[in-house]
Structure 1
Amino acid sequence: MSLEKLKLSKRLTATMTELGYLAPKEIQSRCISRILGGQDVIAIAPEGAGKTTTYVLSTLMKLKFTTDEAPKFLILAPNEERIDEIVDKFFQLSKNKSLRIIGLRAGGSMEEEIEELVDGKDIVVATPNRARAIYLKLALNLNRIQTLIIDDADEIIKQGMQNPVRELAESCGKVQHLVYSTVEHQKLYDMIGNFMNENQALVEIEDLENETVDTLDLLLYQVPNFTTKINLLNHLLQDKEVFQKVVVFVNSKLTAQKLASSLFSNSKEEIAILNPLFYDDFGFEDIEDFEENNHSRVLIIARENTSNVDLSAIPFIFEFELPNEKEEFLNHLVKNETNADTVVLTFTTDLELPMVRKIEQAVGKKMELLDLPDNLLIYNPNTDKKKKVNQEIQDDPSRGGAFHQKKESNAKTFNYGGGEKAKMTMKQKKK
């Protein structure tokens, strides 16, 4: 598909060609015509898929020359770095140094920003908190907004800025809404559900790498919260015939200590920590000692201040927490002759799904999503605040239910099979 198919202006088409864009990306070919037609759009796509370029081109196409001081486009972004990237992209594609655009940065002078707004701007790029603060000072006029754009919605949610987004959207009234995110989950719809127009379009792009990396078996459990992760790990580790040697990754040494105290154990040595934070915690200084200890079954490793660890003799790796950088996850995923039977089980909440997508994009394939066990105890913070998780598991392990309602077509039953190396095979029963 050529750029001409996007029906951009000749000036924008020429600029895109000069910048090396010879053909539109999938998200551009599927979204721009909808945006120019006035439709609300929710676009789900990984990093690098072209989300920013898509709405910048659409905005420049819709932007008309005016001397009106009130802005016509409001773009909400999670941080100052993204604001600078968005403003730079507008100048790069428009080639108009006089473009009436402003970035409202949380660290800048609010008085100077208000003065610039009074002079007249067409496009405002801001964090939700900054935009709301200036709006409450009656300095951000939202009465003429035509399009509200929410960039990196998943990161905005992660930072807890849903309420300012809702308040600004309600203040804009009936406008076009464009929402961009790397993942789709319930928290996203909780934020935007009340203001999106009924004719909204959902566009999903799975832009995986062309080359697939030969990795270990990657399995994924999606859970609602941290406490349910603990419940799930306890539930799985009850099968001692299968899970004879397990490594569990967390991000910090403090989390490692807390997790070790939350796991059910029949002996002090069963749950160990690599280089424990406190003297009283049982642990090892190197993984070889863990492998040789017949009483130790689970080793918790904190990524904090921990260099590469040789996991070739470990049959199960639990990614209890996802790191901030995907490279920390990827460095022990490549399959070789010594670790070919190793299984990696990842636990993720909605807020961690963006990192899952980055990892999937990097290795060129999706993780296999598993159904949660039917008798897993799902922690509900609204009703279970005062309950002790470990005590609940010991007293009544059958309580609780699956996190989500399983579709009949997706219902799976898996069996654990053990061997001399205690590897796990997961097979779907034939009906």
Structure 2
Amino acid sequence: MSLEQLKLSKPLVSAMTAAGYLSPKEIQAKTMSRILGGQDIIAIGPEGAGKTTTYILGVLMRLKYGFEEAPRALILVPTKEKVIEVMEQFERLNRNQTIRIVGLHADGSMEAQINELTDGVDIVVAVPSRARAVYLKLGLNTNKIQMLIVDDAADMVKLGMQLPINELANSIQKCQHLIFTEVMHDRLDLMIEPFMKLPTTIEVEDLGDSETETHTQLLYHVPNFRTKLNLLNLLLKDAEVFDKVVVFVNTRLTAQTLAKDLFDGKADDVFVYKPLFFDEAGFDAIEDFKAVDEARVLIIANEGLPTLDLSGIPFIFHFELPVQKETYLTRIVKQGDEDVIAITFTTDLELPQVRKIEQAIGKKIEVAELPEDLLVEEVTKASAQKSKLAKEQEENESYHDAAFHKRKESNAKTTNYGIGQKAIMNKKKKHG
């Protein structure tokens, strides 16, 4: 497909070609006609799929002239860095010098930003909290907005930006809404449902050209931290299968808390790697853990962690996903003939990290069905957490008070941990 087939103007085709875009991305081919037609869209695609360029082209096509007093397009992004990135992209592609673009973020003077808006603007690119603050000071006129765009929408939810986004959306009487995100989940749907009008959902996948050989991987999608804990307790009860296990979390405090919560702190085979307190059961070297038969579970914090030799350990759990996907990849990329099962727990808020990992390894991680006897807990503000990190996560989770909703077809469950899975694991043990 050629750029001309996107029905772009000649100046935009020329600008795209000059910027090195010789053909449209899949997401552009699938969404552009709908954007130009004024339809509400939810566009889902991985990092690098071309989402930002897609809506910039759409905005420039729909706003063909400038010199308006009030903005006609409001683009909401999660960070100052993203504001700058989008502004630079507009500068590369916008050949119409009459169209004026203003960026709003917390590092700039609000008074200066309001003055800039008052001078006349066509497109506003903003962090939601700053856009809302400027709006409340009567500095942002939303009466003429024709397009409201929310980019990196899943990141917005993770950062707790639902309130300013909804307030800004509610301030606009009628416009086209475009949502761009790496993943779609229940919390994001809760945020956008009040203002979206019969949207079309378009999803593209770009898993790369090559597939990396990894250990066997299973992904459990759960609603919250407490359900993660219940699931880990449930799986690890089977000591015959899970006879030697490492569990990765992100902080040493979480590791300490998890050790106390597992089996109500009564298990004598659960240990912490480099524990915070001298009287806590733990190991300072992973080789010592491997050598002690009675030590079955070792909880390890990613925080300041050196590279560990995980050879000889048949089960690797990621209770929390590390911040850097490279940390995860070093543990699941297959080295030699050793057979390992890597089991990952994820909530809605961690799904973007999962998608980045899948893109890096060139394949989808198999989604496992939650066990029937798993206690899936509702999240409430009264939920007791024993660590600061768990409390913070609970507060984020309380935004969504439903226990767990049906996932999208693309996230469909494909594996059940039961007799079949146990057989796979037992077979692995016999031949390991």
TM above 0.5: yes
CA 1:411–1:252 in structure 2 vs 1: closer, same or farther (change >3 Å)? closer
Q: Please tell me the residue identity of whatever aligns with 1:188.
A: L
CA distance in 1 between counterparts of 2:277 and 2:196 reads 50
Counterpart secondary structure, 1:24: coil
**1:394 match:** none
**1:139 match:** 139
CA distance in 1 between counterparts of 2:430 and 2:349 reads 30
Residues 72 and 122 in structure 1, CA contact (< 8 A), matched pair in contact too:
yes
Residues 16 and 22 in structure 1, CA contact (< 8 A), matched pair in contact too:
yes
**2:213 match:** 214
CA distance in 1 between counterparts of 2:362 and 2:414 reads 25
CA 1:387–1:309 in structure 2 vs 1: closer, same or farther (change >3 Å)? closer
Residues 147 and 178 in structure 2, CA contact (< 8 A), matched pair in contact too:
yes
**2:13 match:** 13
Residues 268 and 282 in structure 1, CA contact (< 8 A), matched pair in contact too:
no
Q: Please tell me the residue identity of whatever aligns with 1:152.
A: D
CA distance in 2 between counterparts of 1:357 and 1:410 reads 16
CA distance in 1 between counterparts of 2:335 and 2:10 reads 52
**2:357 match:** 359
Residues 182 and 355 in structure 2, CA contact (< 8 A), matched pair in contact too:
yes
Q: Please tell me the residue identity of whatever aligns with 2:370.
A: L
Greater per-residue helix proportion: 2
For normalisation by structure 1, the TM-score amounts to: 0.90
**Aligned ranges 1:281-300 → 2 under 5 Å:** 281-300=280-299
Q: Please tell me the residue identity of whatever aligns with 2:315.
A: F
**2:178 match:** 178
**1:347 match:** 345
CA distance in 2 between counterparts of 1:159 and 1:424 reads 45
Displacement, 1:64? 2.6
Quick check: 1:334 aligned with 2:333? yes
Aligned-residue identity in percent: 54
CA 1:367–1:142 in structure 2 vs 1: closer, same or farther (change >3 Å)? same
Q: Deviations over 1:253-297 (max 9, x none)?
A: 111111111111786641111111111111111111111111110
Displacement, 1:403? 4.2
**1:397 match:** none
Displacement, 1:423? 7.4
TM-align CA RMSD: 2.4
Residues 129 and 161 in structure 1, CA contact (< 8 A), matched pair in contact too:
yes
CA 1:271–1:18 in structure 2 vs 1: closer, same or farther (change >3 Å)? same
Q: Please tell me the residue identity of whatever aligns with 1:372.
A: L
Residues 224 and 350 in structure 1, CA contact (< 8 A), matched pair in contact too:
yes
CA distance in 2 between counterparts of 1:411 and 1:220 reads 10
Quick check: 1:278 aligned with 2:274? no
Counterpart secondary structure, 2:342: strand
Residues 250 and 322 in structure 1, CA contact (< 8 A), matched pair in contact too:
yes
**1:234 match:** 233
CA 1:297–1:410 in structure 2 vs 1: closer, same or farther (change >3 Å)? closer
Displacement, 1:300? 0.7
**Aligned ranges 1:5-404 → 2 under 5 Å:** 5-95=5-95, 99-198=99-198, 200-264=199-263, 269-339=268-338, 341-382=339-380, 385=383, 403-404=404-405
Q: Please tell me the residue identity of whatever aligns with 2:193.
A: G
Deviates further, 408-417 or 350-359: 408-417
Displacement, 1:27? 0.2
CA distance in 2 between counterparts of 1:17 and 1:79 reads 28
Residues 251 and 301 in structure 2, CA contact (< 8 A), matched pair in contact too:
yes
CA distance in 2 between counterparts of 1:210 and 1:71 reads 41
CA 1:364–1:36 in structure 2 vs 1: closer, same or farther (change >3 Å)? same
Displacement, 1:336? 2.3
Q: Deviations over 1:192-234 (max 9, x none)?
A: 1011112x11000111111000011111000111111111000
CA 1:64–1:4 in structure 2 vs 1: closer, same or farther (change >3 Å)? closer
Q: Deviations over 1:1-55 (max 9, x none)?
A: 1111101111111111122211100000001110000100000100000000000
Deviates further, 86-95 or 41-50: 86-95
